[in-house]
């Protein structure tokens, strides 16, 4: 029972952390894709969308090779920061973040595209610089889409399996999330525990959706 | 302060804009149908669009100089823009909208202070309302107020009345006049409604296909279009200042120069004394011998033909009947009347064709 609680809290923590981590770059990237023309835009667009279209396990394999001991980024992390990523809880955050990012970026892009350029232009003529226009006009006007995208990303992070299992493995007490746990328990023949974890996943998902609905309804002029 | 555009060029696809002009008047009308380049010009002045060539100067301040790589960003130009729909920020209430624009001035008291501006535009009671709950006219007044509290050096009004119905238009017009009279601000007023031009502007510029066809005093442009194209776009009209002398039975008597005309009272707010009188040139009937005539037209004028200008199918005749009246006749009609400068002539205008536009 203690294990189940641990797994639930761990999953919540990982999903929250990875969502928070991708929020700033995800929103910024969404805005850049919606509002600016820059060289390499289509390349970045494709790269960001990649985890959506290839099997999650394949994304996991790429991450494993990149962040592994002999991987380019793995060596960087170890030499510069002294941290090991793969097969630790950090790998779970990495995998869920990478898998959730495309959903957030897409939602953010659409949300910013729907903000009338006219309003941003008028805001400029009223004396506001680009940063103030972004924070006082674009961001609040795009908030519904951004919130929806954040919830979607969070839900994805909660339930991620394929990429996580590749880079983080299935280490009880260290890298097992609800999704991994369900598979793990079924493998061991512990169907009752698996159903308990299933129930908890459903509750968490419900909670996230309800929270976002409540946030969306609140304070709308 | 003058707004000067020199050698301004901008092109996209088949459309190109080429503008050389200096707007010196207090209120300059920019007249043109959609697609004439009005919006591009407005955006270039506001700094929202970079021209391919040319300079834009407001007074001594260089806003854009393509050759020297100068392009002042919109937020540092002090150009207050009010677009057709007002573009109020929907997530801020009226007060929030005003406060957004006050940053530069800090909401200081005085001419451009919130208190004064709100009073001038009668929006003091709307401060806690949301843009979605405002009527079209209220929205435009708030948009005007928001532009004013940013303490601009130039006001760009891009068809601010076009989205309103006639009654709302008439209700907002007096506020535009107040702004014109209260602030020492050059105003560029974009519209394709001749009545708004006459009611608000000192000078006007006619824009078509990205080129300025004619610039000059409003009366002048309507009375003497420089070309066939201008005449087609703005229509030929006599525009004169007049004074209401009095009236009865729904009719008003107006004094113009030494002449008196009768027009309909219903177009005017009660108590108006100073008006612009506008008569479309095709609404004027010229007759050789008025004395023997029995007609339903309320206005019988006598005058002398000053000029006769032949177009392809029409003839533009200017008659001095105490004020310069322009008539547009077919060639055939002009020939039958044997019109020539110096000839005595009568002119008939029906009362409903004497358009009265309030001046103050």
Return the pLDDT at B109: 67
Phi, psi torsion values for B24, nearest 5 degrees: -105, -25
Beta bridge partners of B328: B316
CA distance B30 to B11: 20
Asked if A123's CB is within 8 angstroms of B48's CB, the reply is no
Q: Which of B234, B232, B233, B214 is nearest to B222 (CA)?
A: B234
Cα(B94)–Cα(B109) distance, rounded to whole angstroms? 18
Q: Give the architecture (CATH level 2) of B3-235.
A: 3-Layer(aba) Sandwich (3.40)
**pLDDT of the residue at B114:** 87
**Cross-strand partners of B278:** B239, B355
Compute the average pLDDT of residues B22-31. 87
Numbered ranges of CATH 2.40.50.100 in chain B: 238-358
Chain B residues closer than 8 Å to A125 by CB:
46-48, 74-75, 77, 79-81, 147, 150, 156
pTM summary value: 0.83
Residue A208 confidence (pLDDT): 86
Contact B7, B56 (CB under 8 A): no
> For residue B121, what pLDDT is reported?
92
Which pLDDT tens digit goes with each residue over A148-190? 999 999 999 999 999 999 999 998 888 999 999 999 999 999 9
Average pLDDT (B189-194) is 90
User: Percent of chain B beyond pLDDT 70?
Assistant: 97
* Interface predicted TM-score of the whole assembly (ipTM), two decimals: 0.83
Q: Which CATH architecture has domain B238-358?
A: Beta Barrel (2.40)
| pLDDT for B236 beyond 70 | yes
**Domains contained in chain A, CATH given:** 2-217 (1.10.3720.10)
Q: How confident is the model at residue B238 (pLDDT cuts 50, 70, 90)?
A: confident
Distance from B274 to chain A by nearest Cα, in Å?
A: 35
A221:B130 CB<8 A: yes
Query: Angle CA(B326)–CA(B332)–CA(B342) in degrees, nearest 5?
Result: 45
Pairs of CB atoms within 8 A across A/B: 62
CB contact under 8 A, B89 and A129: no
Mean per-residue pLDDT for B316-342?
90
> What is the tens place of the pLDDT at every residue in A86-121?
899 999 999 999 999 999 999 999 999 999 999 999
Select from A126, A139, A143 the residue whose CB has the most chain B CBs within 10 Å, as the one to mutate to test that interface: A126
Contacts of A129 in chain B (CB under 8 A): 73, 75
Pairing of strands B79-82, B154-158: parallel
pLDDT at B108: 62
CB-based contact B80 A136, cutoff 8 Å = no
Q: Is B209 left (phi over 0), alpha (psi -120 to 50) or beta?
A: left
User: Helix/strand/coil (H, E, C) string of chain A?
Assistant: CHHHHHHHHHHHHHHHHHHHHHHHHHHHHHHHHHHCCCCCHHHHHHHHHHHHHCCHHHHHHHHHHHHCCCCHHHHHHHHHHCCCCCCCHHHHHHHHHHHHHHHHHHHHHHHHHCCCHHHHHHHHHCCCCHHHHHHHHHHHHCHHHHHHHHHHHHHHHHHCCHHHHHHHCCCCCCCCCHHHHHHHHHHCCCHHHHHHHHHHHHHHHHHHHHHHHHHHHCCCC
Q: Which of A118, A128, A132 sits opposite B87 (nearest CB)?
A: A118
pLDDT, tens only, B50-91: 999 999 999 899 999 999 999 999 999 999 999 989 999 999
* Mean pLDDT over the full length of chain B: 89
What stretch of H or E contains B114?
helix B114-121
Rounded to an integer, the average pLDDT of B332-360 is: 88
Q: Which ranges in chain B are annotated with CATH 3.40.50.300?
A: 3-235
pLDDT at A221: 45
């Amino acid at each position: 029972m203690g294990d189940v609680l641990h797994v639930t809290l761990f999953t919540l923590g990982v999903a929250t952390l990875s969502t928070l981590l991708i929020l700033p770059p995800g929103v910024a990237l969404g805005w850049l894709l919606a509002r600016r023309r820059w060289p390499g835009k289509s390349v970045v667009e494709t790269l960001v969308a990649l985890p959506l279209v290839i099997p999650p396990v394949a994304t996991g394999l790429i991450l494993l090779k990149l962040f592994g001991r002999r991987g380019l980024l793995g060596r960087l992390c170890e030499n510069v920061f002294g941290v090991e990523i793969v097969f630790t809880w950090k790998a779970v955050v990495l995998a869920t973040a990478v898998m959730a990012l495309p959903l957030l970026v897409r939602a953010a892009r659409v949300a910013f595209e729907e903000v009338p350029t006219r309003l941003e232009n008028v805001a400029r003529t009223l004396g506001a610089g680009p940063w103030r226009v972004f924070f006082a006009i674009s961001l609040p006007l795009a908030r519904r889409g951004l919130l929806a995208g954040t919830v979607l990303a969070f839900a994805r992070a909660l339930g991620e399996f394929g990429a996580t299992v590749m880079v983080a493995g299935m280490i009880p007490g260290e890298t097992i999330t609800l999704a991994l746990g369900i598979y793990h328990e079924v493998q061991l023949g512990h169907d009752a525990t698996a159903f308990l974890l299933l129930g908890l996943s459903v509750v968490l998902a419900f909670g996230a959706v309800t929270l976002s609905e409540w946030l969306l309804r609140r304070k709308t002029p | 302060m003058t707004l000067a555009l020199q050698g301004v060029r901008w092109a996209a696809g088949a459309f190109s804009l080429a503008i050389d002009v200096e707007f010196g008047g207090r209120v300059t009308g920019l007249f043109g149908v959609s697609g004439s380049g009005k919006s591009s010009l407005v955006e270039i002045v506001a700094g929202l669009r970079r021209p391919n060539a040319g300079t834009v100067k407001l007074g001594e301040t260089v806003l854009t100089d393509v050759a020297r790589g100068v392009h002042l960003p919109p937020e540092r130009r002090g150009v207050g823009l009010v677009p057709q729909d007002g573009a109020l920020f929907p997530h801020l209430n009226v007060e929030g909208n005003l406060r957004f624009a006050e940053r530069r001035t800090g909401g200081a008291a005085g001419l451009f202070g919130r208190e004064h501006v709100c009073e001038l535009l009668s929006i003091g009671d709307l401060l806690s309302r949301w843009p979605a709950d405002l009527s079209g006219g209220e929205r435009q007044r708030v948009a005007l107020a928001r532009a004013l509290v940013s303490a601009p050096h130039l006001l760009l009004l891009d068809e601010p009345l076009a989205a309103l119905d006639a009654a709302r238009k008439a209700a907002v017009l007096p506020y535009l006049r107040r702004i014109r009279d209260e602030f020492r601000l050059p105003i560029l007023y974009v519209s394709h409604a001749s009545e708004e031009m006459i009611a608000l502007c000192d000078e006007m510029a006619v824009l078509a296909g990205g080129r300025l066809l004619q610039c000059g005093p409003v009366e002048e442009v309507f009375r003497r279009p420089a070309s066939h194209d201008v005449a087609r776009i703005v229509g030929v009209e006599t525009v004169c200042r007049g004074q209401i002398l009095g009236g009865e039975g729904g009719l008003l008597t107006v004094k113009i120069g030494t002449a008196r005309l009768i027009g309909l009272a219903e177009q005017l707010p009660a108590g108006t004394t100073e008006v612009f009188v506008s008569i479309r040139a095709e609404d004027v009937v010229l007759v050789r011998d008025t004395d023997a005539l029995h007609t339903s037209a309320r206005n019988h004028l006598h005058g002398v033909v000053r000029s006769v200008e032949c177009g392809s199918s029409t003839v533009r005749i200017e008659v001095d009947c105490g004020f310069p009246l322009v008539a547009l006749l077919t060639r055939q009609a002009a020939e039958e009347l044997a019109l020539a400068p110096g000839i005595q002539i009568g002119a008939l205008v029906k009362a409903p064709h004497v358009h009265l536009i309030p001046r103050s």
